[in-house]
Amino acid sequence: MRSRITSDLGNVLHETQAASQLSMPGAIALGYVLPALPAAPDPDATLAWLTNEVFTDSDYLGGDVFRFPSESVCKTADVVDPACVAAIDKAELRIRVELDDAMHFYLQLGPDHDEPIEILVKHDELEITANLDGASSAMLAVAAALGAQAPTAQLAGQVTFDLEVAGPSHVLATLAIDRAVTIELADQDGALDGDGAVRFAAPVGELASIDLDATARTFAGHLDLGAITTHTPGHDYMIATATGEAAFDGTALELSNLAVSASESVAGRVAATIALTELSVTLTSANGQETLVPAPQLELASFVDHTALGDVAPAFDVTHLVIDGAVRGDAAIVAVMTGAFSVATSPAQFGFFANAGECVTADPWAIAACP
């Protein structure tokens, strides 16, 4: 089994890492709207951890079942934290293994050894399936591990992530909801349909897919989120829609069918919204700069009621952003090539309107002379 982990899972992880080296436009543009993403795990370090620390002879319990060695994730600089070990051990995490033409790993949780997660590994595929039906006792085990009171829980649905190696440095990945997901949690004496409960719901559908080929220098992507709802005490969140298609041909990244509509409500009162009007975008890069050309225009509107949210308002909120033309820039400054680039804020004095030939600095936003 350890040999197959190294060869089969190793092939999937190394080809995924190789595919991820494809350089495309978009990193600069995304840096303006998204936080920095964490680095991907090192494949060799992951394989070494699995073969040297997880699936060891000393942790084999018999019957194709391994104890999960909590000490392997509860150490810093080789010093093991006993409190961390004790907390994870309360979840009674074990791993059952089946070997045939593929490797099947079943994560067991709780005293009943429920198996809500299956991981399938082949030489060219990694598939992770979370089956929430009947996983309530596993949830209770996790709550115990976290030191929380065991909740009332009702879970249903199934989610699958599939990663396939299609060739050298070429991977395909999909994330899909196979059966509608519902997660409901409440205190032992609370009602699952009450305000004090936590609820999440998402319908059946393929949420996202990618085709990443560093050898051919191409990329295709698909995003389709909608009717996803979450409730926490006093708060309701909804992603009404978040869609997009992406295609990279080695030169330009074409984004189409881009649209977003999401909201947060507090005690039934709308407290925050964000909406991106449907559009297409072309992104190209050269000499450390990206050029963005939207069609017909990029228009983002947002609203935040900090009083309703009960938080501290920042210096300003962006309420309206419009790019009507082409812009080019890097992480520090953006030049308006054609048309106009405007941002409205609350309070209003932090906004700007830049015409063609003008530049805007990124931090803080300000009209500036173009370099």
CA distance 333 to 359: 7
Mean pLDDT of 179-186: 92
Q: What pLDDT, on the 0 to 100 scale, is given for residue 37?
A: 67
Q: What pLDDT, on the 0 to 100 scale, is given for residue 185?
A: 85
Q: Give yes or no for residue 359 having a pLDDT over 70.
A: yes
Question: Which pLDDT band, with edges at 50, 70 and 90, does 202 fall under?
Answer: very high
Instruction: Please calculate the CA angle 278-203-238 and round it to the nearest 5 degrees.
Output: 55
CA distance 160 to 175: 6
Across 268-339, the runs of DSSP E, i.e. the strands, are 269-286, 289-295, 298-304, 317-324, 327-329, 333-336
81 neighbors 88 (Cβ within 8 angstroms)? no
pLDDT tens digits for range 124-172: 999 999 999 867 777 776 766 666 666 788 889 999 999 999 999 999 9
Q: What pLDDT, on the 0 to 100 scale, is given for residue 144?
A: 65
pLDDT tens digits for range 265-293: 999 999 999 999 999 999 999 999 999 99
Can you tell me which residue has the tokens 């407290």?
Answer: 271
Q: What pLDDT, on the 0 to 100 scale, is given for residue 148?
A: 61
Q: What pLDDT, on the 0 to 100 scale, is given for residue 187?
A: 83
Residue % of the chain over a pLDDT of 70: 96
Q: Give yes or no for residue 76 having a pLDDT over 80.
A: yes
Q: What pLDDT, on the 0 to 100 scale, is given for residue 88?
A: 84
Q: What pLDDT, on the 0 to 100 scale, is given for residue 60?
A: 96
H or E element at residue 184: strand 170-186
In this structure, is the dihedral angle defined by the CA atoms of residues 94, 75, 13 and 205, taken in order, positive or negative? positive
Instruction: Please calculate the CA angle 178-13-255 and round it to the nearest 5 degrees.
Output: 60
Higher pLDDT, 344 or 109: 344
| Average pLDDT in the chain | 92
CA distance 281 to 206: 23
Domain parsing of the chain, residue ranges = 1-172
Reference 203, options 244, 156, 168; nearest CA is 156
Q: What pLDDT, on the 0 to 100 scale, is given for residue 371?
A: 84
Q: Give yes or no for residue 256 having a pLDDT over 70.
A: yes
Q: How many CB atoms lie within 10 A of CB 288?
A: 9
Q: Phi and psi for 147 in degrees, rounded to 5? A: 80, 15
Q: Give yes or no for residue 345 having a pLDDT over 70.
A: yes
Q: What pLDDT, on the 0 to 100 scale, is given for residue 28?
A: 85
Q: How many CB atoms lie within 10 A of CB 240?
A: 16
